[in-house]
Each structure stands twice: as C-alpha cells, then as structure tokens.
Chains A and B, each alone.
Chain A
Amino acid sequence: MSFRYTSRRLRIQKLLGPQSCLNGVRRTANAPLWQRCRGVASTANAEKVLFPGALNSEFTDKLEFMQPSQQNAIATFRVMNQFGEIIDKEIGVETEDEEALQIYKNMVKLSIMDLLMFEAQRQGRLSFYMVSAGEEGISIGSASALHPSDVAFCQYREAGVYLQRGFKLSDFMNQLFANAKDNGLGRNMPVHYGSKELNIHTISSTLATQIPHAAGAAYALKMQNSQNPDQQPRVAVCYFGEGAASEGDFHAALNIAATRQVPCIFICRNNGYAISTPTSDQYRGDGIASRGAGYGIATLRVDGNDIFAVRRATKHARALALTNGGQPVLIEMMAYRVGHHSTSDDSFAYRQRVEVEDWKRRDNPITRLRKWLEGRELWDDAREKELRSTTRKEVLKAFEEAEKEKKPSLRHAFEGVWEELTQEQRDHVKEMRGVIERYPREYDVEGFEGGVGGLDEILGKKEG
C-alpha cells in the first residue's frame, strides 16, 4: 500500500516549509493555533512539552494520577430556588411576564396531554406513548430560548420542543394515531414526531444516532451562515438522555463537532434513569458534563427544574455557539424521570414508589414556575382550574378527531424509500395487489384512504 510512502513524502514537504505543503497556503491563512503548531520539532532543553498531541502540557517530576474522585463535582446552575424565589435579584430572570405565562401554559398543556395519552394507551386506543413528566422544563424552556429557525434534533422525550415551536395538538394526535393526516404518513411509532416548518427533524428510535447528525447539520448551517451573511445565523441543537450518551455516537459527535468547530448545542437530559438502569450503572464520572472538557467543548450543568436557568443557559449557549465562526456547547440539564420510561414499562419494578412520589412533591418544573408566578400575582387557583379544564377539553377534542380519521393510503407503504419507485418495488406492488384481490377477506383495506386503490395510484402515476 502506498500509505507509508505518502506519509514519508508529506514529512519532507513539511520540512521544506509551509508553501510547499499540499494545502499550505490556505491552511496557514485560516487554521487556528493548534493546527499551525502541529509538527514543531522539540528542542533538547525545552521546558514545555512539545509533543504534537498535547502542546500546552508542562513537564512534572511528581508522579500523580489525576483522580476524578478528588475533583469537585461540576456545580449546577440555577436562577430560582425550589420555592420559586429568584436567587440573584440583580440579574433577575430575563423573562417577560407574558412569556413566563405562555411557557407555564405550554408546560401544563404538555403534562395534561401526557396524562390523557398515557391513559388512552392503557385503554388500548394508542399502541404506544412516552410522557415527559418532570422534564417539561428542559424541552419547553430551551426551545423558548432558541430562534425558530434553529434546527433541532430530538431523542423522543422532547415533545415540549415541538409544542413550544408551534406543533398543534392536532399534529400530535395525527402522528399518535398514524392516520391519513400524519405528516409521517403512518410510518413511525407514536411520539416519533417531525416537522419541516418548525425545523425539527423526524425522531428515530435508534438512540444517539441524531447526535452526529446535529453536528453535521450544524456544519451545514455554518457554511450557509458564511455564504449568506444577511440571514439570521442559525445553530443546531440536539437533545439526548444520559443513557444515550453512553453510545459511541455521542463520542463520535462531540469529537467531530469540536474538531470542525460547529455551532451546535448538545443538551443532555440527565433524568437519573435509562429505562431501569440507574446512572450508577451508566457511568462513573461526574455525569455527562464532565466529559465536555475532554473534547474541548464549553460545558455547563443546569437545574432542569428551573425554567429560568434553562432559558438563560440556552440563550447564552446559543450566543457562544455562534462566536468565532462557530463552536459546540454542551449543557447537562438535571431532572428526574417522574413517569415510567414508556407505556411498555412499569418503573416500580426497579425503583421505589416513594422515591417517585417524593420527587413529584418536592420539586418539579411546573410547580416551581407556578410558585414564581403566584409570587408575582400573575397566577391563582381559579386560573389554574380554568386552564386545566380548557386544555383537557382541547386535547380530548383533537384526540377524538384524530381517532376518527382514516388510515393513510397504502401507497405510502412503498413510496419514499427512494426518490422514485424502483422497478422492483413496482413488481412488488403488483404482487401485493394480486394477493389482496385473491384473498379479500384476509385484509382490511377499507380503513385505508382510497382502499386497495391506493396501490393503483402509484402504479398509474408512473405508467400514465
């Protein structure tokens, strides 16, 4: 193989000076310090380490292992305590009263939708559901601090991001029922929402795969930001749980995001559990935040139950992500997963009911914001009651409407795999149609929009 030969040639070119380097001209012009320093030869009596792998290191004659246990845990940023009182009154909350009310209403709306849909799944009217209980503050708070054009990638427990950006109750319900109005065309499991208008990519079940996507998307945004200076600069934001952060894709994404300096905000929801696995079985370091420094990424840990802290952290992260042409930021938002992992999970099999009740009572983002609102006399029991009953009615109305809709056309089973239908697919559609026709009593096609005719539509479209 040519590898050895070419690497040898490259070294010679480096010795001859930057101009002779293959891409020397551009590199020296644009490259940040760590790239320009690469390949500096060490002198015999150097005081500083000149190994190319760690340029800022100094020599030491003490043999001391770095012990994570001797480091202080990273502090958790908060703006308001659990009684809804602002800690630093000088800075305040940077949130208008109207905005705070709107955020509060959205959090309540999300929790009511969660309660009702969880129940609907229990009655067998939905195949699956996942609630956001305890984490409404993270998704809604961070989304409210981003620009609507910022591109979001979610894991699955971030329905609040959709809600805050304007995903309607009917959009949620159509997706949950996978009916003809679902913009996922009935292909995805419930809670796998997506929206082009709201700049949120469709959720996939595979954990952590979206993290490198966010890095790549952020790179695309970085290029587009530099190509169109008139446009509002955009960042990508990626949500994932602390369990997903154990996947290789987390490592892959943070590393490439740092080396490519992309404007991406990585938001980890650390809620204590990945299904049944407690964080003590997930990692032994100081949470996820402690890993940021290892990748050279600016990092913050935030109280996820404190909506004002979440908002301020996200706002500052966004500004930071856009400085110097772009750089990634990691925020670990602490929370407690109050609900079960999903409707397929009974969490009392691996944690105490009392622990959950304790969290519900002690601290959660909704009650904390409510205390603050009540403290400012923006909210009271009457308004709360009114909000809950109207929201409940809205959700149920959207639910019933979505339930009544037909299933999507059968054509969507085949379309969209490739840009165009392939010959092989065309043959398969014909074969499937033949089977349905020969065994009409074996298939219920009437519930689907257009019945079996949905298949003719794809065949006709091409041949006609």
Chain B
Amino acid sequence: MAAKTPTMRALTRYLLRPQVPLHPRCQHRPQIKQYSAAAPGARLNGSVEYDTVPILNHTSKSALSNPELPAEIRNGQTKRINLYTAVNEALRHALQTDERVLVFGEDIQFGGVFRCTMNLAADFGTERVFNTPLCEQGLVGFAVGAAAEGMRPVAEVQFADYVFPAFDQIHNEVAKYRYRSGSTGVNCGGLVIRMPAGSVGHGALYHTQSPEALFTHTPGLRVVIPRSPIQAKGLLLSAIRCNDPVIFMEPKILYRAAVEQVPVDAYHLPLDKAEVLKPGKDVTIISYGTPLYTCSAAITAAEKDFGCSVELIDLRTIYPWDRETVLNSVKKTGRAIVVHESMMNAGVGAEVAATIQEKAFLRLEAPVKRVAGWATHTGLMYEQFIIPDVTRVYDAIKQTIDY
C-alpha cells in the first residue's frame, strides 16, 4: 500500500486514541465524551467534578481520619491513586501475603484490559497469575474447584455483561457449595469473582450492565460494589480474606476517574456495613457505586436551591446489606430515595424500599422514591436518558420533600 496520506494518518490516530488517557499523569485531562453526553449549557447534568467531589478523599488527612481504619494505618502514609491501581495494590498484597491466592481470567496476564492486573504475572509468575481460555463458565467453574481444594482464587470476568454464561456455576454451585456439603465442611468460600460493571458513557448493550440484583437474589453470595479507590482496596482485601464467595463489582467508569489519597499499607474494610457519607436531616439517599457521584452533585444543587439537608448513604455491600444503618437514617429523616443504575423492576431499590416500608412505616412522610434505570436496554445513543443523572436525582429530592 502507498504511504498513508496525512488525513488517513490523522484518522487512524483519532480512531486509535484511547477514550480515557492511559498514563496516570494525564488522568486529569478533561474527558471528551463521544456519545452520550450532557446538553451544552446544562446546569445540573455533567456537573460531577471528580477533582473536588466531597466523597473522595483529596487530602491525606481526610483519608486517614476514617474511623474504620486501624490505628497503624491512620498513622501511616497515603498516596494519590486511581481505582484500578487500588485494585491492583489489593491483588498484589493478597498474592504477597497468601500463597493460596490465584489471579486469573481473560487477558489478565498482560495487565488486563483495564490495567487492574498490571505487572502481577511478572512479579508472581504465570503459575499464580494467568490467562484462561475465553469461557466464563469454565473459568468460574475452575475457580470453584480450586477454592474447594483450599486455594483462594480471584477470578475476573472481563465485563459484568458477560457473567451470564457463568450464571449456573455462580447460582447453583458457588452459592450452594457450603450448604450442600453439610457437615463435611467443604466449601468454596475462598472465591472472589471480580467484574467491571456499570455505565461508561458509550458501552451500549453489553458494556454497561449492572447485574447486581440478580446476585442479591441468591442466598450464599456476598455482593460488594466499591465507590472509590480506598473502598476498592479495603473491600477487595476483605473479600479475598472472607470465607464466603464474593461477587466484587468494580464501577469501570471510576477506574481512572476516581482518584484519591489511599493508605499505602494494606487494610480491611467491613463487608456488612453501609457508610454514611454525608449526614442530613430531611431526606436519606441510599445508593452505591457510580451513582453516588451523581447523588453528591444533585445534593449540592438541591441543598442550595431548596435549603434542605440530605443524608447520603453508600450501601457498599449490596448483599447481605446493612439494614440497621439505612433504617436508622430513614427513621431520622422520614424520607428515602434509592438510586441505582440497573433497571428499576426487582432491582436493589425494590428490596431497600420494601424493607423501609416494612420497618419504618410510621416514620415515613413520603413514599420511598426509586431513581433507577428505566425498563429498557441501554441503547448506545440513549444512555444519558436511561442511566439516572444529576437532574433525575435532583428532581427526586424535590418531589420527595414537596410531598
């Protein structure tokens, strides 16, 4: 072929340009959204500023003031890292401290398509960090067997959208292994299944899904979704240490976007506690993962506009979930909104709302509102209309306090 013309080269460069900057030094460059983006001039939508959002720890001091961290960590060092690096550090620590830990999945040996397993194969060997054939039911089944024989496998499903071939293994095997083994005590509790989940702006049908509600309907599983690098590191380490199988969903839009000060040393965060991110008096918002950022922006706008005070709760562990923290908050505020990306019907919000209705009925001053994905698939061009945005949360706060 003849030498490429300048335009051709420019086009190739343009097409090959990564959607988000790869190098950590460049990660604060404003992101150019190609597909689903807020309207120009929008006041509410598109107002999530990761650099200043209060739910991330921008200073070492705020990161270390977390009372959940043990004393030695609180007196230690922090460094500024993003979410994928936090996942990588957790895996690295687990591999270092426990020779039973194995890390595997599709394309993880070279670092993973989201860089979460960077350098692990080089440092720990391809016996412990390795690629599997492209087969989700196979790699999850393989993990079950390895866990049942005493290993602690951390299996990766490349996207949560592709976990369904492994659904039988997860629902019928992973979740039931301990129960059906009875007093023989055999179990596959050492297992963690990691998967990137959630919307990313242009993921369309099969790079956007948040299937957590399908797993919260399975007794025997723990479902965990971190919201930030600190969470990701502490919760993933707890998940690996935990003797129950854990589905660990990482909001992939936050892999590079969420950057905060994270303790350098290893620490564990509890797998059964929600966290009150921001105290408030008038309404409680319960959410997890990416929508917390949307909620935070909406709360800032709503508090300014309506003079109300909103409490924000991160569920963190979606199942089994912390009913007590949520109910205490709703009993105090009398109003509740649940926000999540996945579809409304039978989603996590349905369970949370039903529990609130059952246990805090006399304290409720407004119906529990659910802000969730609409009853449709996330078609490429329609994502901004389907995934809950700042405007919808803002509107839900307005409707709930005006009720």
- Determine if A256 and B323 form an interchain contact, defined as CB atoms under 8 angstroms apart: no
* Closest chain A CB from B243 CB (angstroms): 5
- Determine if A23 and B126 form an interchain contact, defined as CB atoms under 8 angstroms apart: yes
- Determine if A30 and B126 form an interchain contact, defined as CB atoms under 8 angstroms apart: yes
Q: A2-B115, A23-B121, A194-B182 are in contact. Are A212 and B150 (CB under 8 A)?
A: no
* Closest chain B CB from A181 CB (angstroms): 10
- Determine if A6 and B141 form an interchain contact, defined as CB atoms under 8 angstroms apart: no
**For the complex, is B385 an interface residue (Cβ under 8 Å from A)?**
no
- Determine if B149 and A252 form an interchain contact, defined as CB atoms under 8 angstroms apart: no
**For the complex, is A59 an interface residue (Cβ under 8 Å from B)?**
no
Alpha-carbon distance between A223 and B127 when the two chains are bound, in angstroms: 8
- Determine if B183 and A260 form an interchain contact, defined as CB atoms under 8 angstroms apart: no
Alpha-carbon distance between A52 and B102 when the two chains are bound, in angstroms: 27
Would you give the 0/1 interface string for A228-263, flagging 1 where the beta carbon is closer than 8 Å to chain B? Answer: 000000001000000000001101110110011000
* Closest chain A CB from B371 CB (angstroms): 24
- Determine if A27 and B173 form an interchain contact, defined as CB atoms under 8 angstroms apart: no
In residues 23-78 of chain A, which contact B (Cβ within 8 Å)?
Answer: 23-27, 30-31
Q: A26-B122, A209-B168 are in contact. Are A6 and B137 (CB under 8 A)?
A: no
The 8 Å CB contact of A214, one of B128, B145, B187, is B145
Alpha-carbon distance between A417 and B174 when the two chains are bound, in angstroms: 11
**For the complex, is A419 an interface residue (Cβ under 8 Å from B)?**
yes
- Determine if B182 and A5 form an interchain contact, defined as CB atoms under 8 angstroms apart: no
- Determine if A218 and B121 form an interchain contact, defined as CB atoms under 8 angstroms apart: no
Would you give the 0/1 interface string for A158-195, flagging 1 where the beta carbon is closer than 8 Å to chain B? Answer: 00000000000000000000000011110110001011
**For the complex, is A350 an interface residue (Cβ under 8 Å from B)?**
no
**For the complex, is B209 an interface residue (Cβ under 8 Å from A)?**
no
- Determine if B145 and A204 form an interchain contact, defined as CB atoms under 8 angstroms apart: no
Alpha-carbon distance between A195 and B185 when the two chains are bound, in angstroms: 9
User: What size tier do the contact residues of chain A reach?
Assistant: 35 or more
- Determine if B219 and A417 form an interchain contact, defined as CB atoms under 8 angstroms apart: yes
**For the complex, is A89 an interface residue (Cβ under 8 Å from B)?**
no
For residue A153, which residue of chain B has the nearest CB? B145
In residues 103-142 of chain B, which contact A (Cβ within 8 Å)?
Answer: 109-111, 113-115, 118-119, 121-122, 125-128, 130, 132-133, 135, 137-142
- Determine if A1 and B113 form an interchain contact, defined as CB atoms under 8 angstroms apart: yes
- Determine if A215 and B141 form an interchain contact, defined as CB atoms under 8 angstroms apart: yes
- Chain A residues with CB under 8 A of B119: 22
- Chain B residues with CB under 8 A of A27: 121, 126
Q: A22-B110, A23-B122 are in contact. Are A259 and B132 (CB under 8 A)?
A: yes
The 8 Å CB contact of B113, one of A6, A24, A216, A419, is A6
- Chain A residues with CB under 8 A of B307: none
The 8 Å CB contact of A30, one of B125, B139, B151, B185, is B125
In residues 81-106 of chain A, which contact B (Cβ within 8 Å)?
Answer: none
- Chain B residues with CB under 8 A of A185: 182-183
- Chain B residues with CB under 8 A of A184: 180-184
**For the complex, is B178 an interface residue (Cβ under 8 Å from A)?**
yes
**For the complex, is A284 an interface residue (Cβ under 8 Å from B)?**
no
**For the complex, is B192 an interface residue (Cβ under 8 Å from A)?**
no
**For the complex, is A416 an interface residue (Cβ under 8 Å from B)?**
yes
The 8 Å CB contact of B137, one of A30, A182, A223, A248, is A248
- Determine if A2 and B320 form an interchain contact, defined as CB atoms under 8 angstroms apart: no
* Closest chain B CB from A383 CB (angstroms): 36
Would you give the 0/1 interface string for B58-101, flagging 1 where the beta carbon is closer than 8 Å to chain A? Answer: 00000000000000000000000000000000000000000100
- Determine if B132 and A256 form an interchain contact, defined as CB atoms under 8 angstroms apart: yes
- Chain B residues with CB under 8 A of A196: 181, 184-186
The 8 Å CB contact of A212, one of B99, B127, B145, B244, is B145
- Determine if A26 and B121 form an interchain contact, defined as CB atoms under 8 angstroms apart: yes
- Chain A residues with CB under 8 A of B153: 216
User: What size tier do the contact residues of chain B reach?
Assistant: 35 or more
Alpha-carbon distance between A422 and B121 when the two chains are bound, in angstroms: 37
- Determine if B138 and A249 form an interchain contact, defined as CB atoms under 8 angstroms apart: yes
For residue A256, which residue of chain B has the nearest CB? B138
- Determine if A252 and B141 form an interchain contact, defined as CB atoms under 8 angstroms apart: yes
**For the complex, is A439 an interface residue (Cβ under 8 Å from B)?**
no
The 8 Å CB contact of B220, one of A188, A201, A418, is A418
Report the stretch among B17-25, B46-54, B277-285, B372-380 that lies at the interface. B17-25
For residue A259, which residue of chain B has the nearest CB? B133
- Chain B residues with CB under 8 A of A417: 178-179, 219-220
**For the complex, is B26 an interface residue (Cβ under 8 Å from A)?**
no
- Determine if A220 and B182 form an interchain contact, defined as CB atoms under 8 angstroms apart: no
Alpha-carbon distance between A43 and B140 when the two chains are bound, in angstroms: 40
- Chain B residues with CB under 8 A of A22: 109-111, 118-119, 121-122
**For the complex, is B143 an interface residue (Cβ under 8 Å from A)?**
yes
- Determine if A424 and B125 form an interchain contact, defined as CB atoms under 8 angstroms apart: no
For residue A257, which residue of chain B has the nearest CB? B142
**For the complex, is A4 an interface residue (Cβ under 8 Å from B)?**
yes
Alpha-carbon distance between A209 and B141 when the two chains are bound, in angstroms: 7
- Chain B residues with CB under 8 A of A214: 145
- Determine if B168 and A216 form an interchain contact, defined as CB atoms under 8 angstroms apart: no
**For the complex, is A213 an interface residue (Cβ under 8 Å from B)?**
yes
**For the complex, is B388 an interface residue (Cβ under 8 Å from A)?**
no
Alpha-carbon distance between A7 and B360 when the two chains are bound, in angstroms: 53
For residue B218, which residue of chain A has the nearest CB? A417
- Chain B residues with CB under 8 A of A422: 272, 320
**For the complex, is B398 an interface residue (Cβ under 8 Å from A)?**
no
Scoring B145, B172, B183 by chain A CB atoms within 10 A of each residue's CB, the highest score goes to B145
- Determine if A255 and B110 form an interchain contact, defined as CB atoms under 8 angstroms apart: no
- Determine if A416 and B182 form an interchain contact, defined as CB atoms under 8 angstroms apart: yes
**For the complex, is B144 an interface residue (Cβ under 8 Å from A)?**
yes
Alpha-carbon distance between A185 and B178 when the two chains are bound, in angstroms: 11
For residue B99, which residue of chain A has the nearest CB? A227
Would you give the 0/1 interface string for A406-434, flagging 1 where the beta carbon is closer than 8 Å to chain B? Answer: 00000010001111001110000000000
Alpha-carbon distance between A346 and B99 when the two chains are bound, in angstroms: 51
In residues 141-186 of chain B, which contact A (Cβ within 8 Å)?
Answer: 141-151, 153, 165, 168-169, 172-173, 176, 178-186
**For the complex, is B42 an interface residue (Cβ under 8 Å from A)?**
no
For residue A29, which residue of chain B has the nearest CB? B125
Alpha-carbon distance between A260 and B185 when the two chains are bound, in angstroms: 28
Alpha-carbon distance between A213 and B168 when the two chains are bound, in angstroms: 13
For residue B18, which residue of chain A has the nearest CB? A5
* Closest chain A CB from B351 CB (angstroms): 10
Alpha-carbon distance between A30 and B99 when the two chains are bound, in angstroms: 19
Alpha-carbon distance between A378 and B182 when the two chains are bound, in angstroms: 42
* Closest chain B CB from A370 CB (angstroms): 35
Q: Lowest 4 A-B CB distances belong to which pairs?
A: A212-B141, A216-B145, A252-B138, A213-B145
Q: Which chain A residues have a beta carbon within 8 Å of chain B's beta carbons?
A: 1-6, 8, 10, 22-27, 30-31, 151, 153, 182-185, 187-188, 192, 194-196, 201-202, 204, 206, 209, 211-221, 223-224, 227, 236, 248-249, 251-253, 255-256, 259-260, 412, 416-419, 422-424
Given contacts A22-B122, A206-B168, 16 further A-B contacts (CB under 8 A): A10-B110, A22-B119, A23-B110, A202-B184, A206-B172, A213-B145, A213-B148, A216-B148, A219-B142, A248-B165, A252-B135, A256-B142, A417-B179, A419-B178, A419-B244, A423-B323
**Can you offer 5 A-B residue contacts whose CB atoms are under 8 A?**
A2-B20, A31-B126, A213-B144, A219-B146, A236-B145
